[in-house]
Every structure is written in structure tokens, then in C-alpha cells.
Amino acid sequence: MTNRVLYYVAAASTLIAGVLHLAIIPLFFTLMPMNVTIFFLIAGAAQLFWVIPVLKIWRNTWYYVGISGTVILIVLFVIAVPGRGLPVSGLEVTIVLVQIVFIICSIIIVKDRTMKLDKIKSS
């Protein structure tokens, strides 16, 4: 089985990203429109939820959905902030970095699990 550390790093990274997304809400509540506040609430809650499928080692489908959702969040950030010429804060950089860590760990986990399943099927 894939090194358990990868599962813990993936879970910790999505947990940190979720907490930071939720932390943005009170920090900038008066500056954000309500739809942006709701977006950060949903994104943060989803990332907090994603700790469960990672630690419980659910099917690869959950990892694909988690990877896809995280990539979408990063793309939306790039379009919304630096893409519009807005300044990028350290908090935003941290969120993107931990999301990238989650993506990398999840890809390694899925690849390793897929290779092992293929090996078992070919035996």
C-alpha cells in the first residue's frame, strides 16, 4: 500500500486549505459581496469534508473529484486575482501551495493504487 504519510499529507493539506478559505470570510466579510462569501464558505467546507475520503481511503473516484475540484479552485483564483491585476497576499499564496500539495499527493496515491490493481489483475 502507498506510504501512509502521503495520505496524511494530502489530508492535512486539504484541511489547511479549507480552514484558510473559511478564515478569509471574517477577515474580509465587509469587503466581499455576498456571493463571494458564499463561494468561500462552500469551498472551505468542501475542502474540510475532503479529509474524510482521503483518510478513509475511499475509491479512486473520490480522489479524481478532489483533484478536479482543487484544480478548478486554483484556476478560479488565477483568473480572479492575478488575472485581473489585483495584488496577491501571502494567505492566498499559502492556500494555493497547500492545494498543489494536495493535488500532487493525490495523483501519487491514485497512480500507485491503480498500478497495484493492474498488477493484481494481471497475476
Share of the chain above pLDDT 90, in %: 76
Distance CA 106, CA 109 (A): 5
Distance CA 35, CA 111 (A): 36
Distance CA 33, CA 120 (A): 52
Summarize pLDDT for 44-91 with one digit per residue, the tens: 999 999 999 999 999 999 999 999 999 999 999 999 999 889 899 999
Summarize pLDDT for 32-51 with one digit per residue, the tens: 889 889 999 999 999 999 99
- pTM greater than 0.95: no
Q: Which long-range contacts (CB under 8 A, 24 or more apart) does 22-29 make?
A: 22/48, 23/91, 24/91
Which SS3 state, helix, strand or coil, does residue 60 take? Answer: helix
